[in-house]
Structure 1
Amino acid sequence: MEDVRQIRTISRCVAAYCKYPRISVRELHKRCSHYQQRRSTTKLLKDAIEESVLIGPRIWCNSGIDVEIHRGLEDPFEFLEENRKRSEITYIAALIGDLSAFCLKKGASVLQYAETVLPSYPAQKTLDQITLEEKGDLPSDQYPHGWDQLDWDVYEVMRNPLTSYAKAGSQLDVSWHTVKDRFEKIAKDCKTWILFLPKGYDNYQQTYLMFKTEYEANLREELQKLDRTSIIYKFNDTILLHLFLDEALLKLHHYYRLFFELKKEGIIHDLHVSTPIEWYTRHW
């Protein structure tokens, strides 16, 4: 997908999904599309999903998530294959580099924050141009107190918010009106998990950077100026940053140098760099 107008339309659609993940194609066409015909917008969205320019949307809340970090594994691939079968695992990535594996699982509320950061298109900055100047922590994602069992059931079957209320109601043996009411209630406690990758998922070099910093909120603001999604996790007052980098070797050199310079300046600490080689998620 190389047409700039098409990519700008997809970018606007992603922003609209972030505001309301059940927005209809009809509304996306009216608010976001450069096309006159709705079927053209529908095809564009279909193509964007097939080319992994757009991944999502899903809804996400901090439902009590534990984090595992593993180092020095002899075979990260084997570790992933063995551990993906654990019922509590929701996400696992095999890595090479300073870390060997990263896991999210149901359990103690160790994960403090998570977000697919909504980017800007066209970019306001490239990654090597970001600056961290203002201290400030990310807010903690709160556990959704006040949900009953049906709320949790609706959350599970409506993780894909584009699922029809009627289909979800059939699965839960309740009316579609009940699903609608419960979804609108729980959506207020959820984030939209969605990725916008203008070149397509497979055309980026991915990296995980784990570090501590006092500039967490400023980092998020700077990532919003890039032209592709970045993913931030925070646990034990540590940031794990999942970046999608341009593949050119020279650019990779500049990107990595930035973070080592930030470390040298004392802006980030305890930097660990890893590359994901395989991953598994239970909810995509």
Structure 2
Amino acid sequence: MAIRDKPKKKNPAGFTERQLRLLLNYCYATRQNPRMTISKIHKDYSSYLRRKSTTDIINKAYAKKVINGPILFVNSGIEVCLMNDVDNPREFFENCKKDEKTTLAFVSHGYWPIFLCKRGANTLQYHDSILPNNGCISDKKIENIFFEEKGTLPIDLYPHKWFEEQWNTYYCMKYPRNLTYKEAGKELGINWVSVREYFLEILKQCKIVTNFFPLGTEAYSPLLATLKTDYETGIVKGLKTLNRTTYLYKADNTIIFLLCVSPKPREQNYLIDKFQRLEEMGLIRDLHFSTPYDWHRAF
């Protein structure tokens, strides 16, 4: 009687460790080239023999919200507001959603009832989403994360020498895998060769954001943390050891990050305790937490 191999163990989102490694590789690859073809990804980053297997895993990951992006980001003049003096946070949040200048808004319980990003005075100093280290699939305990490197994050500058054509291309192709050059050209009223030329030009000044959540985004609970520190670059390196994306902002010399808390019991308690101990050690200061209960993102 033939002995069957044991089925590969899958996580709650339905992915094996091998598949998650492929998906994390995909995130890194599309950060290098957001229009990289599946054929190229399969050839350079996949351990599967059939290209269809690679394609099916990536499509399933998008459907399960294990990955999202790539998205182009540039500091187009973003005003960042942290507010703890709002009389009716829910009403204020609903008004923010109606404001076409709003790009991101959170309403929370905790120290900061409102976190708002909108087009206006350019107070955003830095933004990125932090991918896990390549190959970091295991769920490392938050209490084992340390920030050992001093350093200041670089400033995200307003784009240099962008004219109307570049801005139009940026907004049209902000999600660069959604449109072909020909489709974008039809939408913009220019030929596809010009679209490609403008796209490759703006790409030099854009960050490419692709995000990874091995359990799917719906499995995680958001936690907003703000702090000041001399270890800004150390924070980025430390958070890379988590197995999912963390969103990071800096404004008015304050680090703001949105942590995605795993569904493990007491995970949020461990996380808050870890950062409070770092504050007691003098590595960070002015530490505050908020728990978002609704949010709005618009591009």
The aligned counterpart of 2:267 is: 251
Asked if residue 134 in structure 1 is aligned to residue 149 in structure 2, the reply is yes
The aligned counterpart of 1:209 is: 225
For residues 168-190 of structure 1, give each alpha carbon's deviation from its aligned partner in whole angstroms, at most 9, with x where no partner exists: 11111001110001100100100
How far the C-alpha of 1:72 sits from its partner, in A, is 4.4
The aligned counterpart of 2:97 is: 84
1:130 corresponds to which letter in structure 2? I
The aligned counterpart of 1:182 is: 198
- Report the RMSD for the aligned CA atoms in angstroms: 1.4
For residues 189-231 of structure 1, give each alpha carbon's deviation from its aligned partner in whole angstroms, at most 9, with x where no partner exists: 0011221000110111210100111100111111122211111
| Consecutive unaligned residues in structure 2, runs of 5 or more | 1-13
Classify 1:4/1:148 alpha carbon distance in 2 versus 1 (closer, same or farther; 3 Å).
Answer: same
Q: Distance in 1 between matches of 2:90 and 2:143?
A: 31
Of the candidates 68, 72, 75, which is equivalent to residue 62 of structure 1?
75
SS at match of 1:84: helix
For residues 37-65 of structure 1, give each alpha carbon's deviation from its aligned partner in whole angstroms, at most 9, with x where no partner exists: 22222211111011110011100011111
How far the C-alpha of 1:237 sits from its partner, in A, is 0.3
For residues 214-268 of structure 1, give each alpha carbon's deviation from its aligned partner in whole angstroms, at most 9, with x where no partner exists: 1001111111222111111000000001111122233322211011111112211
How far the C-alpha of 1:74 sits from its partner, in A, is 4.7
Is the 1:123–1:225 Cα contact (8 Å) retained in structure 2? no
Q: Distance in 1 between matches of 2:17 and 2:174?
A: 30
| Consecutive unaligned residues in structure 1, runs of 5 or more | none
Is the 2:147–2:237 Cα contact (8 Å) retained in structure 1? no
TM-score, normalised to structure 1, is 0.95
How far the C-alpha of 1:70 sits from its partner, in A, is 1.7
Of the candidates 167, 175, 179, which is equivalent to residue 183 of structure 2?
167
Identity of aligned residues (%): 34
SS at match of 2:104: strand
The aligned counterpart of 2:137 is: 122
How far the C-alpha of 1:79 sits from its partner, in A, is 2.2
- The count of residues paired between Structure 1 and Structure 2 equals 283
Is the 2:127–2:248 Cα contact (8 Å) retained in structure 1? yes
The aligned counterpart of 2:29 is: 16
1:210 corresponds to which letter in structure 2? T
Is the 2:20–2:137 Cα contact (8 Å) retained in structure 1? no
Is the 2:90–2:107 Cα contact (8 Å) retained in structure 1? yes
Of the candidates 168, 180, 198, which is equivalent to residue 214 of structure 2?
198
Is the 1:116–1:195 Cα contact (8 Å) retained in structure 2? yes
Of the candidates 236, 239, 254, which is equivalent to residue 220 of structure 1?
236
The aligned counterpart of 1:3 is: 16
Deviating beyond 6 angstroms after TM superposition, the runs of 4 or more aligned structure 1 residues are none
